Amino acid sequence: MGELVRFSVAVPEELLMQFDNLVARRGLAKNRSEVVRDLIRDALVDEEWDDPLQEIVGTLTIVFNHHASDLQGKLDQIQHAHHERIISAMHIHLDAHNCLEVIVLRGRSDEITKIAEGILGVKGVKHGRLTTTTTGRYL
């Protein structure tokens, strides 16, 4: 990152008070400037994600009952079919019946979305969410 540049922003007082509350909730090491930088980075990452051809990384977290009929086999089959986009997977036993799996993916935004939707659509997956971020090349 380069040299810091100062700029000013005019906001309504009530909005500034709400923003200061946000800054306070983010912790002792944060100040207005750092939170604004975080928000700018978040917006730039969202912009990258909106481009279907942009390379991104993401984590797909799913919860499922491992006793469901051949569910683990179906999940493994999808993951093997996309091994070039799946960087890693972690499987956790939550209790005697439920498992949590975290799958790390890297590739074009449209490809990652399609893989995630395929996994989330498998019958027996109770809950899941794709969280995306940037590879960091453009920040």
- Calculate mean pLDDT across residues 131-136: 84
Residues 51-57: what's their mean pLDDT? Answer: 86
Largest Cα–Cα separation, the chain: 59
Q: What is the mean pLDDT of residues 70-92?
A: 95
104/1 Cα distance (integer angstroms): 27
pLDDT band (50, 70, 90) for residue 81:
very high
Higher pLDDT, 54 or 95: 95
Q: How many residues belong to the chain? A: 139
45 CB-near residues (< 8 Å, 6+ apart):
132, 133, 134, 139
**Residue 81 DSSP SS3:** helix
Band (29; pLDDT cuts 50, 70, 90) = confident
Does the structure show a pLDDT above 90 at 53?
no
Helix or strand (DSSP H, E) at 130: strand 125-134
The pLDDT, as a whole number, for residue 59 is 97
What pLDDT score was predicted for residue 139?
Answer: 62
* Interstrand relation of 55-65 and 98-108 (parallel, antiparallel or unpaired): antiparallel
Does residue 1 surpass a pLDDT of 70?
no
Q: Which carries the bigger pLDDT value, residue 78 or residue 22?
A: 78
Q: Distance between CA atoms of 124 and 109, rounded to whole angstroms?
A: 25
